Structure 1
C-alpha cells in the first residue's frame, strides 16, 4: 500500500460531457456502498442527455486528490415556497474509500455551500440513509441539522404510472 502525502492536493472542477463514464462509475460505486447496486441502472447515454443536453437536470462536481478522480457531488435546484427562493439540493455525494480522510468531502460541501450563497439560495439540503453513521457524523460536524420530523415520500415504477394515468375530474 502506498502512503498518501501529508497534505494531498485537493481540487474540484465542474464535470464535462467527457466525464460521463467516470460519473457513471462513481454512481455505481456509491450504489454499492449504499447497498443499492441493483437500483443503479443509469447509462452513459442517459446521463449525457440529462446532465449535458439542451436542458440539464443537474450539475456535477468532480473532486480529485493529487490529480486522481476521488469523488463527486451531483446537485440541482429546488424551490422553497415558504422562503420564496430556490434552494440547492445535493442528490449524491461520494468519496472513494481510499480518499476518505483527505478533506475532500468537506471541500466538496464547502464548494456547494459557496455555490448556494453565490446563487442566492435560501437553503442547502440533502438526504442521508439513517444507517450511515459516518456520513451523519460528518454532516453534524459541519453544522447540518437533521430534519427528523420530515420523511421522504416516493412514487416510482407502476405506482407512478398508475397515478399518472388517473383520470382528471
Structure 2
C-alpha cells in the first residue's frame, strides 16, 4: 500500500470515489446528504486551496480510498485560546478495500501532515448514525471533545 498526494491527473478517479462517497453519506443521512455525481469542480477547488490537501491510498494497482485535509483556525472569541488545527474534511475507503488497513494508513498520513504543519490537533465530524466510522476513529485514538445536537 502506498499513500500519496493527489494530482490533477487523479481528478477523474477522484470523481468516481467522491460520487460513491456522496451516495454512502446519502444512505446514512438522506434528509441532509444528497447522492450527486461529482463533476470534478469540487476536487479542482480543493487542489487550488493552499490550506487543503488530498491524499490517496494506492492498493493493488488501484485507488482504495482518499482523505481530504484542511488547516483551520479557532474563531476570534475572547474566551478561546487562538490556535491552528487540522481538519479531516472527508475520509472514504471503498467497501471492497475496508478492513485492509487503508483507513488506518490514511489517518496516519493525516497525523504526519498535522505534525509537519505544526498544527495543534486533528478534528473531524462524523455522522452519529455511522457506528462503523465512530469505532474506527476511536481505534485510531480520536476522542469526542464536543457533541453537536440538532432538533
TM range (shorter): 0.7 to 0.9
Deviation at 1:38, TM superposition (A): 2.8
Judge conservation of contact 2:16–2:38 (CA < 8 Å) in 1. no
Among candidates 61, 67, 71, match of residue 67 of structure 1: 61
Write out per-residue CA displacement over residues 8-46 of structure 1, whole angstroms, 9 at most, x where no aligned residue: xx1110000111111121111111111257353542245
Higher relative contact order (CA closer than 8 Å, sequence separation 6+)? 2
Among candidates 35, 42, 51, match of residue 46 of structure 2: 51
What is the Cα-based RMSD across aligned positions, in Å? Answer: 2.1
Q: Aligned ranges for residues 144-155 of structure 1 at < 5 Å?
A: 144-151=142-149
CA distance in 1, matches of 2:51, 2:116: 19
Pick closer, same or farther for the CA change 1:88–1:151 going to 2, 3 Å.
farther
CA distance in 2, matches of 1:138, 1:89: 17
SS of residue matched to 1:28: helix
Pick closer, same or farther for the CA change 1:47–1:142 going to 2, 3 Å.
closer
Deviation at 1:145, TM superposition (A): 1.0
So what's the TM-score if we normalise by structure 1? 0.74
Q: Which residue of 2 aligns with 1:23?
A: 14
Q: Aligned ranges for residues 1-169 of structure 1 at < 5 Å?
A: 10-35=1-26, 38=34, 40=36, 42-48=38-44, 50-53=45-48, 55-56=49-50, 58-80=52-74, 82-151=80-149
So what's the TM-score if we normalise by structure 2? 0.82
Write out per-residue CA displacement over residues 40-65 of structure 1, whole angstroms, 9 at most, x where no aligned residue: 354224532x1333x44622101111
CA distance in 1, matches of 2:40, 2:25: 21
Deviation at 1:93, TM superposition (A): 0.3
CA distance in 2, matches of 1:143, 1:47: 28
Which structure has the bigger radius of gyration?
Answer: 1
Task: For structure 1, list consecutive stretches of 5 or more residues without a partner in the other structure.
Answer: 1-9, 153-169
Task: For structure 2, list consecutive stretches of 5 or more residues without a partner in the other structure.
Answer: none
Judge conservation of contact 1:71–1:96 (CA < 8 Å) in 2. yes
User: 37-46 or 95-104, which moves further after superposition?
Assistant: 37-46
